[in-house]
Structures are given as C-alpha cells and as structure tokens.
Structure 1
Amino acid sequence: MNNKNEEFRNVSKPHALPIDAILADLRSDRDGLSSDAAARRLERLGPNRLPEPPKEGQLKRFFKHFHDTLIYILIAAGAVTAVLGHWVDTGVILGVVVINAIIGFIQEGKAEQALEGLRKMLSLQAHALRDGEWRETDAEQLVPGDIVRLRSGDRVPADLRLMEAINLRIEESALTGESMPTAKNTEAVRDDAGVGDRSCMAFSGTLVAAGRGTGVVVATGAQTELGKIDRMISEVQTLATPLTRQMDKFGRTLSIVIVGMAALMFLTGWVLHDFSLDELFIAAIGFAVAAIPEGLPAILTITLAIGVQRMARRKAITRKLNAVETLGSVTVICSDKTGTLTRNEMTVVHLVTGDGRYDAEGSGYAPRGGIHREGRQVTIADHEDLRRLVEIFAVCNDSAIVEDNGQWRVIGEPTEGALKTLAKKAGFSDKGYQRLAVIPFESENKFMATLTRSSGKGTRILMKGAPDRLLDRCARQAGKNGREEPLDRSFWEEQVDALGARGLRVLAAAIREVEEEKDELAMEDLDREMVFAGLVGIIDPPRPEAIAAIKTCRQAGIRVIMITGDHAGTAAAIGQDMGIGSGREAVTGDAIEAASDEELGRMAGESDIFARTSPGHKLRLVQALQARGEVVAMTGDGVNDAPALKQADVGIAMGIKGTEATKGAADIVLSDDNFATIERAVQEGRTIYDNLRKAVVFILPTNGAEGLVVLVAVVFGLELPLTPVQILWVNMVTAVTLALALAFEPSEPGLMSRPPRKTDAPILDALFLWRIAFVSTMIGLATIAVFIVQRRLGMDLPAARTLAVNTLVFGQLFYLFNSRFLHESSLGFSRLFANRVAWLMAGVLTMLQMVFVYAPFMHSWFGSASQSLRYWPVPLGIGLSVFLAVEAEKALLSRRT
C-alpha cells in the first residue's frame, strides 16, 4: 500500500492514460490508501463537495429596487417637501416609492437555486478501499487515489478512472445529453475525446444503470466535471432583457427632460412672476411628480405577473418576471433533443426479416398500435419470421414495462423496454419460458444470450445485440416461412446501413436449437452455429406537437437550433424528421472545440444541428449567437445544459425530467417537458409586450396632461390647478385600476405571423409619441380651462382643484377604451364590451373618485372638497370628447396609411 501522500500530483487527462501510470502519479495502488494518507490529502484538498455560492441578503434584494433614475428623482422631491414642511406630500411621495419596491421584491421570488441543485446530485455515501478493507465512507471524505466500488443503482461519488468494468453501464444523460446509458470499459481513449466518449471514466453525479465496476478517484469537488459546470454557472453573467434595456434608456431620457423642464420652469417663474421660493419649489416638485410615471414600474410588474399566471395555465412556470416579456422578442430557440423534441422513450419502428419488412405503430412504452406490412396490419400467427424475431427480443430480455397511474414506464434498460412493448403490440406472451443460463451483455461483446427451455419448442439459445457481432457468429439465416438458408451478409449490412442512416439504433437477433438436456451456456456455444433471425430499428420518437410548433416558430421568424450530446447521425435524422437543419449534416463538438470565436459565429449562423456537444460547447454557441445580435432561448434538462441556460436571454428547463440544477438555472420551467409549450409561451410573451406598450401609451398622457397643467400655470403666473399630492393620487389610481385592465387583453390576430421585434427598437415609435402628445394636450388644456372658468365664476380653490382632478381622471377613463386597440377602431358593441375587466376597473375607479370627492379624511389629506352633482357632467362630457377625438384620429391616420 502506497502512502506517500506529499508526493502525489494531479492527473491531467486520466481518460487517455493507462491505469498503472495514473496510480503512480497519485501515489496509490490497487489496495487503495491508508486512513492516515487519506486524512492528510483531505486536509490539503478539502472535502469532496461543491463550494457554497455567495447568497444575496434580503435587505440588498429589497433596496436594489430603489436603483432607478426616476425613483431617485421622486426621493429627492420627497426630501425637498420635507425640508419645506409639507409632510403630507412627503409621506405620499415616499409611500409610492416604498410600495413600488415592495411589489418588485415580492414578485422577484426566490434567488437562484442552480448551484444548490448541483450539490444535491452528489452522492452521500461511497464504498472505498481503505487500509486494505472495503468500507462505507462518507462521500465528502473521498480524495484522489481512493479506490471506489460501483454497483447498479449507485450514484458515482467522484470522477473515477475505471480499473474494472463488468457489464457496467452508466446513465450520463444529465451530464452529456446522450439518451442511452453508456457502456463502460477500462481501455484508455484518445486525449481529445469529449466527455460523452470517455468510456473508461465514471463521472461524479451520474447513475449506475447496470453492472458493477471499480475505479480510482482522479478528481473531487470543484475539480470534477460536475464542479466545472458549477464554476461555469457561477461565472456566467446574466444579460439585461430587451425590455429592461428599453425601460432603462427611456427612464434616463425622461429623467433628463423632466429635471431640465423643472429647472426651466423654476427660472421662468422666478424671472417673470413674483412667486416666493416656497411656491416655486412646490411648483417644480409638482411638475416633476406630474411628469414622472411613478405608477409605470408597478403596472409593468403587475402586467408581467398576470402574464406569469396565464403562462402557468399553459404549462410554462416562470421563475423570473422579465423572462415573460423577453420570450416575445426571441429570435432563436436552441433546443436539446432528448425529452424536449423527442419523447425520451425508446420505440421500435421498423423490423426486417429474411421474408420482408414490417412497421410498428405507436410511440413510447404504451403497448398501443399494431404491426403492419405493406400497409396492412399483420399478426405473428400468420408470419413465422415475425413471430420468431419478436420471441427472441422478448425472451432474451431483463426488463419489463408496467402501467403506473395510466402511464407506462420501463423497469430496466430503455432499449429492452422498447422490445417488451413490441412484444405486447404483437400479442406475444413470454409465459412458459424457463431461463437455464445467461451470458449478460458486456461492452466488449455487445450482445446478450440466454439458454431457454419452453414447452413444445425444446431448448434453444436466444441472442440479441450489435448486428456486426451477431453476423460474425451466424452461418445461416431464417428465410421465408421460417426455412433456414445460407447467410446473405451483404444484404443484412445494407439493411443495417439503411436503418442507421435514418437515425435508428439497430439491434439484431439470432437463434439456435440445442440438445434438450443442455443446461449451461458458454461463449463457444455461440460460434458460427447461430441462425440470423432479423433486425429491429429503434428510435426515440419525435413529439408530433413539437414538429407543428417548430413550423409555427418558422412562420413567426424564429429559428430553431438543435444542440444535443447524442451522435451526429441520430441528431441529423431526428432534425430532418422535425424540419430542422434542411437535411444538412450535424456539426460535432470536435469542430466547435477547434473553431475560433469568429469561426464559431459563422457556424452558428449557418448550421442548425450540433451533436456530441459538451457543456462548454453549448455555452459558447449561445454566446456566439448573442454576439450576432440574436435573442436566444435555450432549453434543456441535464446538468450539462445549466451554464447555457443561465447565459441565454431566456433559459427554459424541463420540469418532469429536468435536474434541480437545470431548473435552478432556468428562467422558465415547462411542467409538461414539451417543445410545443415553448411556442405557446412565445405567443404569450408577444401578447404581454403588446399589452405593456398599450399600458405605456395609456399612462403617459396622464403625466403629460399633468405636466402641461403645472407648466402653463407657472409660465402664465396662475394658481396651481393641481397640488403634488393630488397629482400622485391621479397617477396611482389610474395606473393600478385602468392600466391594469390592459394586462388582460387577448392576443391580437396574426400575432405569430409577425417577425420578432428588433431589440434596439424604441418602446415608443413616432405614432405612439404623437398619440401621447395629442391626448396629453387635449386633457391638459381641458383641465386648465375647467379650473380657470370655475375660479372666475367664484368657486373656491379646493373645489376648483377637485373638479380639475375629476376632469383628468375621467378624460383618462374614456381614453382607456381607445388604448385597447392601438391602430384599429374601438367603436362597436363587441369591441367596447369584449374586456370585462376594463369595465370592472372603470367601476372601481369611479368609486375611488367618490371617496376622493366626498370622504372628509381625503379632504384633509389631499386638499379635495365635496362637489355638487351638477358639476359631474363636465368631466364626463370632456372624457367622451377625448374618446371620440382619438377615434377620429385613428380613422384619419388609417386612411392616410
């Protein structure tokens, strides 16, 4: 036993080195380490676990919602009113700011859970050889040089270089994306082999599907392949969403305009009129408060939250609010293959015998569908060649399929499960078969054989496995009517190539009758005496609804790219079936590895299928697409997808078969693991963006009208028609009632026939800016006119201001129904009454205004006053006039365009 702990060194590329060289570098041997040596290494290297991620405190998460230019201006306005002693104004302004922060804090939800999900994948216990004895050891105590034993069902506790592999197959799909368990052996591979091709390695966090093995630990904790993914996730910088960038730019521009206009107004009042400093400060603050759409952040958040609920009903669960809107601007969807585009359920689709070809209906493990030949359904009773082929695959089999709550699943190997499903579809029963002996599948042999006895059929050897291995052991084949004839190897090789070219996994079957009393099975019993029975082609079938969804995405101008860890031929064939790749060959991970960033950008622009990819390759591809200006959605279910999901503009994880790490890194989780749900989520995202634009175009005229009222009053030396707190009241009640109704607007016709919107396009185009200016001027001038007229008629100041507030509110209420259709007319019974929420919110707003006008406590808080019923037709008539004027403007612009 070698215990020279201080002299061991890390092993680079252990998959390319022989075992003896690795043991020498690690100063270990086949008897493992001593407890003392392991303890010293553990002290030097630390425990075998992933590092804890830094966590953002609750206070930091709350206060970051104040980090907005417009919010800074409101806080400054609140400070000035406090200095001037206007405490009600200060309380209302700061109350609005805090409410906005609380809404954002609540809606943001939980912090990132990606790294926590990775840590859950690590094994808790391991069987290690210490002091010459096998012991169950805490997996965190493992160190490089430890010898570890693996058995079926174990989770691999660290990265191991295998020393022994007996029928060992490991489920690595979470790490590599490959749909089938990987057969393992002890032979070194080339040094540039990708993770999925390192057949002599067992990686931390993967699951032993079958067999047993022994390996030496070559990496622990952060140095494992799982640790490298962990590091990639932590290093990925989350990009700002298109809406975030647009709103930041809009907020900065608006802030500069507001501050400049307030300063200019202050100077104008100072130079032209004899306002006191107190009055000028209040007027400037009133203008700033009027011009700032402080309700906009809240209504954006609420609109997104409503969109989240609508998406959840469509099987897309959103973890981050801004991802909802970003979906609407997606230009590329990068999708994993297994489980997303396909069902992740192996299915036999084609059978070939010496007498003909057959097709199997259905998909997945549910035994529904029949077997057809030349378009007609057939039975095994009428076709001996078919019966024999099905019999071999069903009996020479260690798996089973069971029904669980209406869902069929496989117990054992997925491929063998597909063969059991085939047998049930054919009506074959394996009852009455007695297994006498077995040669299990091993990666060196690539076949399985059983010695089986059944009543009426005697004792026979049944064999299934790789076609080339079985052809080597057969001299004859089963021909028409089950008669034996000389083996036509070239024919079978052509059939294997044809099935393989379609992306199918091909298995062969063979049979031989032996003497009745035989009860043992050896390798020499399988040499050149077997009778070749035929082939089956197995596929992980595409989801039919995913094919339709991909077609819809293309119509919407969205490109779909497949990025998978599976083999290039399988990926290309599946892509062709689904309408991805236009029949081109897949680009492999080796080509990605060798490409420069510039070359990879060209590949990402030209190719739609990428195969045998590692986590680093997926991350680079997403970055290359983003560098080309694309807005990228990335889907996945394995840990290998997590870094790319976090890098993407929208990360989409599978909720059923996805790992916790993948769900934690994602923005959206699909509860049905279906690509078609992504297409529906994109449609919802586009609808939400439309509704957000409607909300902005609706809210801003309120601020424009209020700002115009204050500006005109100061420039012309008039009394202020509105106070700052009254302005805040109008802004908040219209935003949280009327603007909220727009969040419930349904999708507009032809939504998924539009191209994705450009990410650099302004949220407000020329038409919308004109609409905002037009409506702001109408409502603002009407408000000023009402105030001036009533003051000249002798109405006291609080009552005149109350009437001015009502004019503003009801002008905005009628304008809501214009905003439901930005380009088309809102006239017509069906359109006016299509959104019940709009009428509900109109009723709520009316009641709030009644409280504002008639509640005594509102009089003291907001300076309002009770109003006689004879004054109510004034704001209602002005509101109706605004509605009709905007409809006339729509009609005029429609004719001109």
Structure 2
Amino acid sequence: MSSPAHSTDVSEVFHELDSRPEGLSREAASSALERYGPNALPQTREETSLQRLLRQFRDPMIYVLIGAAVTTALLGHVVDTIVIAAVVIINALVGFLQEGKAANALAAIRDMLSPSSEVRRDGTWVTLESEELVPGDVVKLRAGDKVPADLRLFETTSLRIEESALTGESVPADKDTGPAAEDADLGDRSSMAFSGTSVAAGSGLGVVTATGSDTQIGHITTMLGEVERVETPLTRSMTRFSSILAVGAVLLAVLMVIVSVVIYDTGWGDVLMSAIGFAVAAIPEGLPAVMAITLALGVQKMADRNAITRRLASVETLGSVTTICTDKTGTLTRNEMTVRAIHTREHTYEVTGTGYSPDGEILLADAPVNLAEHPDLARIAEVALYANDASVEKRDGEWRLTGEPTDGGICTFALKAGLAKRERRIAAVPFDSEHKYMATLDQMPEGPTVHLKGAPDRLLERCDRQSAPGQGTEPLDKAYWEEYIESLGARGMRVLAAAWREGSASTGLATTDVDAGGFVFLGLYGIIDPPRDEVPEAVSTVQEAGIRVRMITGDHASTASAIAKEIGLRGARAITGAELQAATDSELQAIVRDHDVYARTSPEHKLRLVRALQANGEVVAMTGDGVNDAPALKQADVGVAMGDKGTEATKDAADVVLADDNFATIAAAVKMGRTIYDNLRKAIVFMLPTNGAQGLVIFVAMLVGMTLPITALQVLWVNLITAITLSLALSFEPAEPGIMKRRPRDPSDAILDSEAVLRIIFVSALIGGATIAVFQYLQMNGSSLEVSRTIAVNTLVVGQIFYLFTARFARVSALRKELFTTNPVSWMCVGIMLVLQIAFCYLPFMQAAFDTTGVGWFGWAVPVVVGLVVFGAVEADKLVRRQLN
C-alpha cells in the first residue's frame, strides 16, 4: 500500500486492495494467494542432536587430547588410548546432556496464529483455514477469537483486543474505525487488529492488509531469524584461555621432542610417549567437565529460586551483566490494577493494599476513615460496586479476578470500603469503546438509581452538577475536575470518573437515556498497576552491585515515569518510542548512556536499544513476556522470560525463564551468577597447579635427560581424580561476603588476572619441584622405579589436597572455622580422593594398569610434609598480599 493502512481511510484501503465490504471473489482470492503466498510464518531449521553433540568437541584443549589419543593408538599403547578417549567422551556427554534442546522460538510464534477464520467470499460467510487468507479478504472478529492476519477495521461494536503480547499494554486496547495518526505507535493504532492478538470483548469486521511475514508478528519472526546468539563472557574467556593453553602445551612438547632427539638421541617411540605425557599433564582435561558440573549445580540452585535456565553458560553470564532491561507490566508491577487514590469535591483519600485482595484501608490524612462519616466516599464506592461487571473471589487461597482488570480494581476498592453487592440491577448499558462509559439502573433503598462510571471527559459532558462538600449538590466546576484529572494522570494513574442520578424502574436504561445527561459528578478514581512489594529493594540491591536497571515498556510515558520513580530508578524521565525512532544508531548509543526509562516502544525499538547498549560495551540482560520481546531477548547476552504470564515464543527465545515473573528473582540470579563465576575461577586456579606441577616434572625430566618421575597414564589418573573430587568441591562454595557490593567484572578481562597467574606459577613450582626432589631422593637411595613413582604420585595428590584447603579462600586466611563448617562437600571429596588413591597404590588390578606398588608409612608421611609446606607457603603469600594492600 502507498500509505500505512492504520492512517488511511477505509474506502481508500478497499480501493488499493481491489476489494469491497462484501469481500473478494473466489477467483480474486485465488489470484492473490498465488501473488502473496499462504498466510503462514517462515519455517526454521532446528539444530540436530548430532550437531549439538559434535559442538561439544569444539575446544582447543579437546583437539590436543584427540591428537594424543590418535598418537598413542598408532604407537600401540591401548590403555593410554582408552583412558584419554574416555576423558574426551565423558566431557562431551556432560555438555550434551546438560545443554538440552536448542531453542525454537519461531515454532512457538506459529502456534499463536489462528487455525481458522470466518471470511466473506463472494458475499457469503465461510470458514477457511487461516493460511488461505489473502490481502483484501473481509474477516469477522468476535470475543475469544484470535486475529488471523493484520486487519484494517471498518466496523466495530465495543471491540477490545488484548495486545499485551505485542505492545506491552497492561489493559485491552479499545478499537474503532477512524484513521490513526501516520506516526502513531503500535499501541495507538486503534483502527488496526494485529495477527496473533486476541479479541477480549465485542465484535468487528476488518479487511486483511497483510499476511504471513508481512504482518507485525511476521516482522518479529524476521528479526528473530536475523538475530544471532551472542557469545557469553565466559565462553569468550574460556575460548581464549583454552587456545593459549593448547598452543603453549603443543609448542613446549615440540621443544621437548627436539631436545630429546638432538641432544640425548632418545628413540622416537619413547620421545613421543613422553611428549604425549607432557601434553596430557599440561592440559586440564577435567576443566570442561568441572565447568559443566559447576554450571549445572548453579542451574539447580537457580531453579530452587524460581529461575529455570535453558543454557548453561547463561548462569554465569547473569553474574557479569552491567545492565538489566526490564519490562514493566507483570515483572516490576503486579499486573493487577489497583485504586490508589479517590478524589471527591470534599477530600482526597489514599487507598492501601495491592492487587485484588480486599485487604487494605482507605486513609484521610494517614488515618483510617469510617464510611458512615464520609457520605462522599460512600457514594463513589457505591458506583464502583454497582456499575461493574467484574467480581473478585478467593480461590485456592488467592484472590482472583473475573472480568476486566480495571473493573476488578475499582470493585476491590468498594470491598475495602466495606460494601457488599446485592443483586439489585434493573437494566444496564455495557461499556462500549465509542461512548467509553458503563451505566447501570439499580434498585437502591432510596429508590431506582443510575450509576455511571467511565472516562472523565465523557462523564463531565453528561453532568451539570457535582456533589458538594457536606451534603447536597452545586453547579459543576469543569475546570476544577480537569485540573485534578491532569494531576492524577501525572502520577501515572489511569483515571476513571463516577456519577449518579435518580432513575425510573419503568423506563429502563439505554444509551440515549445516559446521553441525555442530568448526572451529578461524584469524583475520580486514580488507578495504577502497582509495583510488586519486593521490587524496590531488589532494584536497590542490583544498583548497589553496579548494575543499571532500565525499564522498557509499551505503556504510556507518564505511567512509566511514575512507576520508575516509585521503585527507585535513576533518571525517571521517559524517552518515547517516537524519540527512539528519530534517533540514529550513534545518537541512540548516547541516549542509552543517560536515560533508564523508555515508553511506547515497539519490538524494533527494544532490539535497537539492546544493540546500542552492547555497542557501548554493556553485558545486557533483557526481560519480557510478549512476542514483541522475543527478538530483543534473543539478541541480549541473557534473555529472561516470564514463565507464568509469558508467551511460549518468549520462553523459547530466552536463556532463563522466571517461574514467578518476579524482578527480585533476577537479583537473586545475579548473585548466583557471580558466585558461580567465583567458584569457576577458584576451580581453575586450583586445577592448573596440578597440571603445572605435572607438566613441570615431565618437562624438566626430558630437558635434563632423567627418567620420568611419573608416566603419561599416571598423569591422566591424577588429573581425572582431581577433577571429579577436589575441583568439584569448589562448586559448592557459598557466596563470598559483599559479593553484591562490588562492580560487575569487565567482560573483556581475562579469566585469570596477574595475581592468579603468579599463584599458579608459584604453587606449580612448589608441588612440581617437591615431586622431582622426592623421586630423585628415592632413586638415589635404592628404591625401585615403581615405589619411587608411586610415592611421587602420592606427593602430587596430597599436595593438591592441602592446596584445596587454602584455595577455598582466595584472599583471607583459611585458618578459620568456616574451613570446617561452610562446605562439608569438600571434606567428603577429600575422603573419596584418598580412598581412590589408596586403591591406586594397593589394588592388584590398579597396580597392573598404572605400574604402581604398595608403599609403607614413609610413602604417605613424605607427601603429608610436602602438603603442609604447600599450605603454609600459600597462606604466607596471602598474608603478604593482604599487608601490601
């Protein structure tokens, strides 16, 4: 079409589509179907299980181990090959099973489309598959229907459409047939019905203006297809880390081969096995498994806090976020309309309590009021109760609404005032989007009464008097009420008005009776979707952690600003969708640095905002519940979907799903993410000295031409049992004190800082040097090679156990009661490792497999002494660092 359908007159829309209100002919529809294609969204290819499994092997460290396995197989060392291959396969299976099924958001969006529609063809109403719809078709809408395509409405009767999944609006949108402004935001296009939304009330007719991928929901699927998954900070760090380790191990192994062959004229078979032993020693092959298990434990702990994680790495990424972009409705707020203020000519009352529970009070100057002493309040509460088709009742321990959210809010207010509804209705004029009011004729004790509630401007037009202070009435002061309407609106409230007049049971009630006027204006209801009780504290906690919270909503700017101020967001002025639309990408990057509240946004705006933040170097978590949020959730570093009120499309595009739709759960998940990162870092700083010590032992032995103190197979044994016991123990460490007081880590930083690298080098040299010294001492004193190597392995293992005790506390001293009380799993893991090591030394089949032998008390006493030295040296190092700091 030459101009947007929502801003074009209906007759012109029909002309441009070559259609008419009687619908298309079958021939014209068939021709259009060939031109436009079926009314269906594009399919997408899913990742297969095989592709997901093969992806687990894409790691430089795994490449080195695969190369080692192939080499040992060619050399005929079957046991070595089997052990190395087992380590590689186990790591891959852990990642494969934990990662789960790949996301398929487009399939979930396709499920939102209506399967069939009532369409006028050749002047006759027929039911067709929605895929057969074409632009120009005339479609009938009724309450409960799903809108099958984008429609330009040309006939409406009290039509209201639930568009929250597409626009973020908290209440159904009123629809009419008049053209909207050409630059109207999506939520303000009252002349349109959009594909995938639901008819909440009323009926209407519309002409199809767009089908399939040309619809608003189709644009979202297109954006989803264009958005690629963002690498997490952990993934980037671990990729760099793995590459450096793998390249370093290979280069040093090549150097060892050259030295051994050129200087010592060692045979190629022995040289290659020694080089493989070094590569296996230097590579922490247990690290991928430890990382997967640590993340899996985090997933389980987060699930206990109502945060279900779909991608493992997203757990840690939550701990790295610098910005949380959050939806308003249902996440920061309760998604339950609540009366907060009542204004009559006599007083302004505040109403406490939230949601649809009648627990709460009506206050005047902070004191509860008695309804009998305030007839002005009693009369406006009466209108709230009787001019109302909603009801609230307690079911399964919770107060639940039946009816419209706004009606539910004012009905709850009437219950808080102490009124109880009795069936006295004689007649009613239901709410209609054209006249924007509801009226009832009720038999009251004083006689038949017409109760009227609705949009303030419509009620002011029908009133000539107002309730006066005290008793009686006075002439209507329209300017007075307009001032208060504006005042409540500035507080982000939705404003409804109440009026009444005497009625007649004999004449009934019709729209013409209401429009005749003669009403007495009673006052105003200020209604808002209030913040959840726990949200202000959660926002404060997140901000103290150095994370900015940004609200992005489809609601109006005044409402967004009011909620932002109430929950403590910084810079509460709302930037509108129109401002975002007019900004270039570079201008948008400047806008997001200074503003935290965005209103009347479209899916494109949300996606651009996330990309602008990422371009500024931010790590972004994005929350949402509607289909309109799905592209931005997929683009974000962590997409967080609402599990209770969110759409399936949003959940499938997200990385984390909140079972309770609560922002406070995000704050808890951020703390868990930081804890997991700390524990992963501790595991790496703990594991690498094992590999460093083993690598150092083999490297030094080959350079100086001495017998290897430990074999390649023994190296694999130490790495394997350390990974499944001691390293795993660090996954259970609790959060460090003050974890939510520190700034987010820079995602570009390496996973190991200079302090960690120095610690690794220091401990590697200490344990490796002690192992070589023990082996040489035993050899010089006549011990057999098997005894010397067995005690050397024991030295490595026990040295690691004592290092674990001090590594659990990165900076503070380990000589504290928490060493024994805060992580009982660590002691269980030490016990398991000692049992495995005893089996390694004394069980015959283990002795045969690993060339070990039984040793006496000396074979354990020496390793314990070495362990105590390691513990004392690291504690001394920490003490010096604390003193320097």
Q: CA deviation at 1:36?
A: 4.2
Q: In structure 2, which of residues 341, 351, 354 is the aligned counterpart of residue 363 of structure 1?
A: 354
> In structure 2, what is the equivalent of residue 6 of structure 1?
none
Say whether 1:874 aligns with 2:862: yes
**Structure 1 segment 857-868 matched on structure 2, within 5 A:** 857-868=845-856
> In structure 1, what is the equivalent of residue 438 of structure 2?
448
- Single out whichever of 842-851 and 792-801 deviates more from structure 2: 792-801
CA distance in 1, matches of 2:759, 2:701: 23
Say whether 1:376 aligns with 2:367: yes
How far does the alpha carbon of each residue in 1:662-695 deviate from its partner, in whole angstroms, 9 at most, with x for none?
1111111111111111111111111111111100
Q: SS state of the match for residue 353, structure 2?
A: coil
Matched to 1:560, the amino acid is V
**Structure 1 segment 77-96 matched on structure 2, within 5 A:** 77-96=68-87
**Structure 1 segment 606-617 matched on structure 2, within 5 A:** 606-617=594-605
Q: In structure 2, which of residues 429, 434, 448 is the aligned counterpart of residue 439 of structure 1?
A: 429
> In structure 1, what is the equivalent of residue 670 of structure 2?
682
**Structure 1 segment 661-740 matched on structure 2, within 5 A:** 661-740=649-728
Matched to 2:540, the amino acid is K
Say whether 1:564 aligns with 2:553: yes
Q: SS state of the match for residue 134, structure 1?
A: strand
Q: SS state of the match for residue 329, structure 2?
A: helix
> In structure 2, what is the equivalent of residue 352 of structure 1?
343
CA distance in 1, matches of 2:22, 2:505: 46
How far does the alpha carbon of each residue in 1:387-435 deviate from its partner, in whole angstroms, 9 at most, with x for none?
1101112111122122221222221110001111111111112204123
> In structure 1, what is the equivalent of residue 48 of structure 2?
57
Q: In structure 2, which of residues 586, 590, 600 is the aligned counterpart of residue 602 of structure 1?
A: 590
> In structure 1, what is the equivalent of residue 66 of structure 2?
75
How far does the alpha carbon of each residue in 1:303-328 deviate from its partner, in whole angstroms, 9 at most, with x for none?
11111111111111111111111111
> In structure 1, what is the equivalent of residue 636 of structure 2?
648
**Gap runs ≥5 in structure 1:** 1-9
**Structure 1 segment 50-449 matched on structure 2, within 5 A:** 50-436=41-427, 438-449=428-439
- Single out whichever of 523-532 and 146-155 deviates more from structure 2: 523-532
Is the Cα contact below 8 Å between 1:402 and 1:409 reproduced in 2?
A: yes
CA distance in 2, matches of 1:881, 1:838: 20
CA distance in 2, matches of 1:27, 1:482: 63
Q: SS state of the match for residue 872, structure 1?
A: helix
Matched to 2:301, the amino acid is R
CA distance in 2, matches of 1:763, 1:396: 63
How far does the alpha carbon of each residue in 1:629-675 deviate from its partner, in whole angstroms, 9 at most, with x for none?
01111111111111111111111111111111111111111111111
CA distance in 2, matches of 1:665, 1:435: 51
Say whether 1:481 aligns with 2:466: no
> In structure 1, what is the equivalent of residue 521 of structure 2?
532
CA distance in 1, matches of 2:187, 2:514: 34
Root-mean-square deviation over aligned CA pairs: 1.5
Matched to 1:829, the amino acid is K
Is the Cα contact below 8 Å between 1:11 and 1:218 reproduced in 2?
A: no
> In structure 2, what is the equivalent of residue 818 of structure 1?
806
Is the Cα contact below 8 Å between 1:817 and 1:832 reproduced in 2?
A: no
Is the Cα contact below 8 Å between 1:474 and 1:527 reproduced in 2?
A: no
Q: SS state of the match for residue 337, structure 1?
A: coil
Q: What is the number of residues matched between the two proteins?
A: 885
Is the Cα contact below 8 Å between 1:11 and 1:22 reproduced in 2?
A: no
CA distance in 1, matches of 2:178, 2:570: 35
Matched to 1:849, the amino acid is Q
TM-score, normalised to structure 2, is 0.98
Q: CA deviation at 1:239?
A: 1.3
Is the Cα contact below 8 Å between 1:466 and 1:506 reproduced in 2?
A: yes
CA distance in 1, matches of 2:817, 2:8: 78
CA distance in 1, matches of 2:454, 2:822: 63
CA distance in 2, matches of 1:218, 1:525: 37
Q: CA deviation at 1:810?
A: 1.0
Is the Cα contact below 8 Å between 2:455 and 2:496 reproduced in 1?
A: yes
- Percent of aligned pairs sharing the same letter: 53
CA distance in 2, matches of 1:134, 1:384: 54
Is the Cα contact below 8 Å between 1:11 and 1:26 reproduced in 2?
A: no
Change (3 A) 1:771 1:581: closer
**Structure 1 segment 508-519 matched on structure 2, within 5 A:** 508-519=497-508
Matched to 2:860, the amino acid is W
Would you identify which runs of 4 or more consecutive aligned residues in structure 1 move more than 6 Å?
A: none
Is the Cα contact below 8 Å between 2:734 and 2:822 reproduced in 1?
A: no
- Single out whichever of 736-745 and 867-876 deviates more from structure 2: 867-876
> In structure 1, what is the equivalent of residue 38 of structure 2?
47
Is the Cα contact below 8 Å between 2:462 and 2:514 reproduced in 1?
A: no
Q: SS state of the match for residue 827, structure 1?
A: coil
Matched to 1:172, the amino acid is E
Matched to 1:695, the amino acid is A
CA distance in 1, matches of 2:402, 2:135: 34
CA distance in 1, matches of 2:185, 2:839: 70
Is the Cα contact below 8 Å between 1:683 and 1:752 reproduced in 2?
A: yes
**Structure 1 segment 494-505 matched on structure 2, within 5 A:** 494-505=483-494
**Gap runs ≥5 in structure 2:** none
CA distance in 1, matches of 2:848, 2:372: 93
CA distance in 1, matches of 2:2, 2:437: 34
How far does the alpha carbon of each residue in 1:710-748 deviate from its partner, in whole angstroms, 9 at most, with x for none?
011111111111111111111111011101110111111
CA distance in 2, matches of 1:542, 1:54: 40
> In structure 1, what is the equivalent of residue 448 of structure 2?
459
CA distance in 2, matches of 1:260, 1:233: 43
Matched to 2:252, the amino acid is M
Q: CA deviation at 1:516?
A: 4.6
CA distance in 1, matches of 2:759, 2:16: 75
Is the Cα contact below 8 Å between 1:459 and 1:518 reproduced in 2?
A: no
How far does the alpha carbon of each residue in 1:208-230 deviate from its partner, in whole angstroms, 9 at most, with x for none?
11111111111122211111111
Say whether 1:636 aligns with 2:636: no
Change (3 A) 1:793 1:833: farther
> In structure 2, what is the equivalent of residue 761 of structure 1?
749
Q: SS state of the match for residue 470, structure 2?
A: helix
CA distance in 1, matches of 2:819, 2:847: 38
Q: CA deviation at 1:43?
A: 4.3
Q: CA deviation at 1:379?
A: 2.9
Q: CA deviation at 1:44?
A: 4.2
Is the Cα contact below 8 Å between 2:320 and 2:746 reproduced in 1?
A: yes
Q: SS state of the match for residue 81, structure 1?
A: helix
Q: CA deviation at 1:521?
A: 2.3
Is the Cα contact below 8 Å between 1:572 and 1:581 reproduced in 2?
A: no
How far does the alpha carbon of each residue in 1:781-804 deviate from its partner, in whole angstroms, 9 at most, with x for none?
111122222223332222322221
TM-score, normalised to structure 1, is 0.97
How far does the alpha carbon of each residue in 1:153-172 deviate from its partner, in whole angstroms, 9 at most, with x for none?
11111111111111111110
- Single out whichever of 303-312 and 369-378 deviates more from structure 2: 369-378
CA distance in 1, matches of 2:530, 2:111: 31
Matched to 1:555, the amino acid is E
Q: In structure 1, which of residues 21, 24, 36 is the aligned counterpart of residue 12 of structure 2?
A: 21
Q: CA deviation at 1:870?
A: 4.1
CA distance in 2, matches of 1:16, 1:526: 29
Q: CA deviation at 1:758?
A: 0.9
Matched to 1:343, the amino acid is R
How far does the alpha carbon of each residue in 1:174-215 deviate from its partner, in whole angstroms, 9 at most, with x for none?
100111110000111122222111111101111111111111
